Chain A
C-alpha cells in the first residue's frame, strides 16, 4: 500500500513489522521522530515489545546487547554524538556476535556542533564489525531494515547492522513509500533463533577475555563472517525481490553505467541528485553514470571492480573525511581498482549539511574529466 509518509515514520513502521522484542533508545536530533513513533505504538499496544527509556545512548546499546544475549530481537536508533558515545559498545556487540539492528539518521560530528547531515558518524564506526547499509530514499530506508535483520540474524553472519539514512534530508522528508503488510514481512523475516543465549538451563559464559593465543582468531572469525555476509545479502535481496518486486540483489546499484566514461560513486540521498544530473548530461551527449554503494560493510570489492572495469575516470563523492588522509569511500575504490589503470579521484562534498545541487555534480564531472580531484569541493574561501 502506497502512503505519503515522513522518512522517520516509514522507518518506525518497518521496525514495528520486524517485531522487535526489546527497544532501547535515547533521543537525539534528527533520530527522535523514529523513537517517538515507536514509543507511541508501544503506548497504544500496537507493538509487542519492552521499550526501555535509557539515560544515554551508551546504555541504549548496552541494554540492546544484554537483551540480544538473552535471546530477544532488539532495536535502537541514534546518530552523530550518540553513536560516538556508543563507540565502545559497538565494538563489543560485534565481538559478541549479536545481531543488533540500529538505524543511523546520519549527521555530522562536532566540533563545531552541527545537527545537519553528512556521513561522518557511521563511517567513523567503519572498523567496528557492523554491517553498514546506506539508503537513497525512504522506500529503501524502510526496506533495508527487513533485509538487515534477516542478514544479521543469519547463522552464517551473526553480526550487528546499521541502516543509515541521511538525517533531515530523508528522516524529515515526506515521500511516497510502499508500506509492507505484516504477513509479507513475516514471510520474509523468520523469528530470531539465536544459536546460543544466556539461559539457566544451558549455562554459557559470554564475553570472556582472550590472551594473545586466542585474540587474533576471534578477530579472524568475525572478519570471515563479514565476508560471508556478502553472499547472504545478495540471497536475501533476491528473496526480497520475489515477495516485494523491489531489487536489492547487489550491494551496489548501477545507474546508466554500461558505456559510461565518467563514473560517479556515492552513498545515500545524494545519489538522487547525481542521477538527475546524469540524465541532464546524458541528454547533452556526455557518457556519465553512477555506481551507488548500498552496502559499505562488507565492502563489495569485486562488484565495484567489475562495474568500473571500462570507466575512464571515477569521481568518488565522500560525505566524510578521514582527516589527514582522504574520504573513506575513495580509499576503498582505489583499493578495488588497484592495478586496473582506471583513474580514481576523490571529492569531499556536502559536509555538515552543505547542499549538493545538480550544478555541483556537473562541476565535479568537469573537474574529473580534467583530472582535478582529491579536494574539498565547494569551499567558501572567503571565510577561511
Chain B
C-alpha cells in the first residue's frame, strides 16, 4: 500500500543499533500515514529522534513533558475539532511515561473520550535514564534500581496490567502487539486509529542495551517473549478480548536465558524456584487468554 511503502520516520536518528522503539516508530508511521499529528512523551524515542536542529519525524510532531502527552493530545484533538480539521492524533510514550508518571493524564484523556490513539512502546524499564525499574518491568528482571543481589532476585513485582486498566475506562479498542510481527502491528495500529474514541496499542519493543543482548537479536527475542507466553498479543473490542495470537509454547527459560537482566537466575547457579515462578506467570497468561495451540494426539498404533 502507498502509505506503507513511504518512510515517514527517517533514518539517521541516534537510536542504538537494534533498538525496538525505533522499529516501532517506523511501523507506527507506516500504519498512520501522513495525516497525523504525533505527541511524544520525554524518553529514549523523543531524545534519539529530535536532537535540535535535526528531526526524524516527517509528520507534525510535538514533545512537551514526560507525563503529559495524553493531555497535550486532548488539547490537539479539541483544537482540530474546533478548526474542522481531519488529522488523527497519536500520543506515543514509553512504559515509564505510560504505566507510571503519565497515568493521571492518560486516565483523564480516556475517561473524557477524546478521539486519539495512545501507543506505548514497552521496553519494560526506564531506559533513557539508565535502565531503572518501571511498573512494566517483569518479575525478577534486574534493573539498576532493582538489581539482583545477595538478598534480591531483581524486580519483586509482576508487570502492571495496563490494557485492563484502560479497558476499564470504556476504551472501544485496545491491542497488544510486538515489533517482531510487523504485519500484525501495522494492522492493529491502523484499526486503533480508525476506531472513534480513545484507543490503546501496547507494543512490546525489546531494548538490547537495557535487557542485555546483541542488537541483531531484537526481533528473535521479541518473538520468544510471545512464544513463551510472557507477552500475549491480543485485541479487545469494547472491553472483551476478541482475538489472541496462539503459539506452540516454549519453556520460559529459552527467553530468560538470552538476556543479561535475568542472568542471575542461571548463574552462578540455576535458580529453579524463581524460574518456576516465572513459568507460572506464563502458564497463567496461557490459561487466561487461551494462547496454547492444542496439537491433535497422534493416533494410537
By a beta-carbon cutoff of 8 Å, the part of chain A in contact with chain B is 21-22, 24, 49-50, 52-56, 58-59, 62-72, 74, 88-89, 92, 96, 198-200, 202-211, 214
Residue pair B52, A209 in contact (C-beta under 8 Å): yes
For residue B221, CB closer than 8 A to chain A, the reply is no
Residue pair A71, B37 in contact (C-beta under 8 Å): no
Interface centre among B58, B64, B107, by most chain A C-beta atoms within 10 angstroms, is B64
**What are 13 inter-chain pairs, A to B, with CB distance below 8 A?**
A22-B78, A53-B112, A55-B107, A63-B72, A63-B75, A66-B64, A69-B76, A70-B75, A96-B64, A200-B37, A200-B60, A203-B58, A209-B47
Given contacts A62-B72, A202-B60, A206-B62, 20 further A-B contacts (CB under 8 A): A22-B82, A24-B74, A52-B78, A54-B74, A58-B68, A59-B105, A62-B105, A66-B74, A66-B76, A67-B75, A69-B72, A69-B76, A89-B65, A198-B76, A199-B87, A200-B35, A200-B87, A203-B57, A208-B51, A209-B63
Checking A54, A198, A211 against B71 with a beta-carbon cut-off of 8 angstroms, the contacting residue is A54
Known: A62-B105, A205-B55. A74 touches B75 (CB 8 A): yes
Interface centre among A200, A204, A208, by most chain B C-beta atoms within 10 angstroms, is A208
Within the assembled complex, what's the spacing in Å between the Cα atoms of A199 and B60? Answer: 6
Nearest chain A CB to B60 CB, angstrom units = 4
Residue pair A214, B108 in contact (C-beta under 8 Å): no
By a beta-carbon cutoff of 8 Å, the part of chain B in contact with chain A is 34-37, 39, 46-47, 50-53, 55, 57-65, 67-68, 70-83, 85, 87, 104-105, 107-109, 111-112
Residue pair A66, B79 in contact (C-beta under 8 Å): yes
Within the assembled complex, what's the spacing in Å between the Cα atoms of A92 and B42? Answer: 12
Residue pair B57, A66 in contact (C-beta under 8 Å): no
Interface centre among B39, B72, B111, by most chain A C-beta atoms within 10 angstroms, is B72
Which residue of chain B has its CB nearest to the CB of A214?
B52
Within the assembled complex, what's the spacing in Å between the Cα atoms of A34 and B52? Answer: 40
Residue pair B78, A62 in contact (C-beta under 8 Å): no
Residue pair A66, B82 in contact (C-beta under 8 Å): no
Nearest chain A CB to B77 CB, angstrom units = 8
Residue pair A88, B83 in contact (C-beta under 8 Å): no
Sorted nearest first, the 3 A-B pairs with minimum C-beta distance are: A66-B75, A55-B108, A62-B71
Residue pair A55, B111 in contact (C-beta under 8 Å): yes
Which residue of chain A has its CB nearest to the CB of B8?
A203
Known: A22-B75, A67-B78. A207 touches B62 (CB 8 A): yes
Residue pair B76, A70 in contact (C-beta under 8 Å): yes
Residue pair A72, B79 in contact (C-beta under 8 Å): yes
Residue pair B62, A72 in contact (C-beta under 8 Å): no
Nearest chain B CB to A377 CB, angstrom units = 39
Within the assembled complex, what's the spacing in Å between the Cα atoms of A117 and B292? Answer: 64
Q: Chain B contacts of A92 at CB under 8 A?
A: 64-65
Nearest chain B CB to A20 CB, angstrom units = 10
Within the assembled complex, what's the spacing in Å between the Cα atoms of A246 and B72? Answer: 37
Which residue of chain A has its CB nearest to the CB of B46?
A209
Within the assembled complex, what's the spacing in Å between the Cα atoms of A96 and B65? Answer: 11
Nearest chain B CB to A89 CB, angstrom units = 7
Residue pair B68, A198 in contact (C-beta under 8 Å): no
Interface centre among A49, A53, A68, A198, by most chain B C-beta atoms within 10 angstroms, is A198
Checking A72, A203, A210 against B83 with a beta-carbon cut-off of 8 angstroms, the contacting residue is A72
Known: A21-B82, A59-B105. A207 touches B64 (CB 8 A): yes
Residue pair B58, A21 in contact (C-beta under 8 Å): no
Nearest chain B CB to A105 CB, angstrom units = 22
Residue pair B52, A62 in contact (C-beta under 8 Å): no
Interface centre among B37, B60, B75, by most chain A C-beta atoms within 10 angstroms, is B75
Checking A21, A49, A56, A64 against B108 with a beta-carbon cut-off of 8 angstroms, the contacting residue is A56
Within the assembled complex, what's the spacing in Å between the Cα atoms of A187 and B109? Answer: 36
Nearest chain B CB to A7 CB, angstrom units = 27
Known: A209-B46, A209-B50, A214-B53. A63 touches B62 (CB 8 A): no
Nearest chain A CB to B161 CB, angstrom units = 21
Q: Chain A contacts of B60 at CB under 8 A?
A: 198-200, 202-205
Interface centre among A65, A74, A207, A209, by most chain B C-beta atoms within 10 angstroms, is A207
Nearest chain B CB to A312 CB, angstrom units = 49
Which residue of chain A has its CB nearest to the CB of B77?
A66
Q: Chain A contacts of B51 at CB under 8 A?
A: 208-209, 211
Within the assembled complex, what's the spacing in Å between the Cα atoms of A157 and B85? Answer: 27
Within the assembled complex, what's the spacing in Å between the Cα atoms of A243 and B250? Answer: 78
Which residue of chain B has its CB nearest to the CB of A203?
B60
Nearest chain A CB to B215 CB, angstrom units = 23
Within the assembled complex, what's the spacing in Å between the Cα atoms of A64 and B64? Answer: 12
Known: A62-B105, A66-B76, A198-B60. A49 touches B82 (CB 8 A): yes
Residue pair A58, B79 in contact (C-beta under 8 Å): no
Nearest chain B CB to A220 CB, angstrom units = 15
Checking A49, A69, A96, A208 against B50 with a beta-carbon cut-off of 8 angstroms, the contacting residue is A208
Q: Chain A contacts of B55 at CB under 8 A?
A: 205, 208
Residue pair A200, B104 in contact (C-beta under 8 Å): no
Known: A66-B62, A89-B64. A59 touches B71 (CB 8 A): yes
Residue pair A200, B34 in contact (C-beta under 8 Å): yes
Nearest chain B CB to A333 CB, angstrom units = 35
Nearest chain A CB to B53 CB, angstrom units = 7
Which residue of chain A has its CB nearest to the CB of B50?
A208
Q: Chain B contacts of A207 at CB under 8 A?
A: 50, 62-64
Residue pair A22, B79 in contact (C-beta under 8 Å): yes
Q: Chain A contacts of B81 at CB under 8 A?
A: 50
Q: Chain B contacts of A70 at CB under 8 A?
A: 37, 75-76, 79-80, 83, 85
Residue pair A69, B78 in contact (C-beta under 8 Å): no
Checking B50, B65, B75 against A88 with a beta-carbon cut-off of 8 angstroms, the contacting residue is B65
Q: Chain A contacts of B67 at CB under 8 A?
A: 58
Q: Chain B contacts of A88 at CB under 8 A?
A: 65
Which residue of chain B has its CB nearest to the CB of A204?
B60
Within the assembled complex, what's the spacing in Å between the Cα atoms of A157 and B284? Answer: 59
Within the assembled complex, what's the spacing in Å between the Cα atoms of A69 and B62? Answer: 8
Residue pair B37, A62 in contact (C-beta under 8 Å): no
Which residue of chain A has its CB nearest to the CB of B66?
A88
Within the assembled complex, what's the spacing in Å between the Cα atoms of A378 and B102? Answer: 44
Residue pair B34, A62 in contact (C-beta under 8 Å): no
Which residue of chain A has its CB nearest to the CB of B87?
A200
